[in-house]
């Protein structure tokens, strides 16, 4: 999304050849950029780190507004969305936050799927290699039951529309 005109041209060319296009994004793009790219997109894989604005900013360093705006724009354009939610123990795994996200998502009829992705430590070494402190070093992956519970709560939101 850093080069929206190029991306729009690439996606457009793919669609002209019958190639399905998908955009995997955090949604942190300006409205102008989103309006340039989304018309050429068949599917959006949208990361929503947390529906709580404070937690979202704590995890990402930016406000949630652009991400939610992209979701709304995709709904207005009738572009299917798969929401991806990382379950991060101590940050995004409390039931209240998961239920709040489910309630928020319930109003969007373009959401086809919600995927709960368990936090993992696979990329931790990268932080060490560049000499940057890894703030999640002590966080362990969530247990399977917590992932299953979050998935069930979020799936229920889709079925109650």
Cα dihedral sign, 124-149-44-68: negative
Q: How confident is the model at residue 121 (pLDDT cuts 50, 70, 90)?
A: confident
Q: What pTM did the predictor assign?
A: 0.91
Three-state helix/strand/coil letters over the chain: CCCHHHHHHHHHHHHHCCCCCEEEECCCCCHHHHHHHHHHCCEEEEECCCCCHHHHHHHHCCCCHHHHHHHHHHHHCCCCEEEEEEECCCCCCCHHHHHHHHHHHCCCCCEEEEEEEECCCCCHHHHHHCCCCCCCCCCCCCCHHHHHHHHHHHHHHHHCC
Helix axes 95-105, 144-159, angle to 10 degrees: 30
Tens of pLDDT, residues 74-101? 999 999 999 999 999 999 999 999 999 9
Which pLDDT does position 145 carry in this prediction?
97
Burial bucket for residue 92 (CB in 10 Å: 0-12, 13-18, 19+):
buried
Q: Domains of the chain by range and CATH?
A: 4-10+18-159 (3.20.20.70)
Q: What phi, psi does 72 have (nearest 5°)? A: -65, -40
Give the C-alpha distances (Å, rounded to integers) separating 42 from 123, 155, 159: 29, 22, 22
Which pLDDT does position 161 carry in this prediction?
61
Rounded average pLDDT over 31-44: 97
Q: What percent of the chain has pLDDT over 90?
A: 84
Which pLDDT does position 153 carry in this prediction?
96
Tokens (6 digits) for 117: 């992705």
Which pLDDT does position 32 carry in this prediction?
96
Rounded average pLDDT over 30-56: 96
């Amino acid at each position: 999304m850093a080069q929206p005109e190029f991306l729009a041209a690439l996606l457009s060319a793919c669609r002209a050849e019958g190639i399905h296009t998908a955009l995997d994004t955090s949604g942190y793009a300006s409205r102008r950029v989103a309006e340039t790219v989304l018309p050429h997109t068949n599917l959006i894989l949208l990361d929503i780190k947390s529906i709580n604005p404070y937690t979202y900013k704590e995890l990402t360093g930016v406000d949630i507004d652009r991400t939610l705006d992209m979701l709304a724009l995709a709904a207005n354009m009738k572009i299917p969305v798969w929401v991806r939610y990382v379950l991060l123990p101590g940050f995004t795994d409390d039931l209240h936050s998961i239920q709040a996200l489910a309630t928020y998502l319930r109003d969007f009829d373009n959401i086809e799927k919600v995927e709960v992705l368990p936090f993992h430590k696979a990329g931790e070494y990268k932080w060490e290699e560049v000499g940057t402190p890894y703030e999640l070093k002590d966080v362990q992956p969530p247990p399977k039951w917590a992932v299953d519970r979050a998935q069930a709560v979020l799936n229920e939101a889709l079925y109650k529309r």
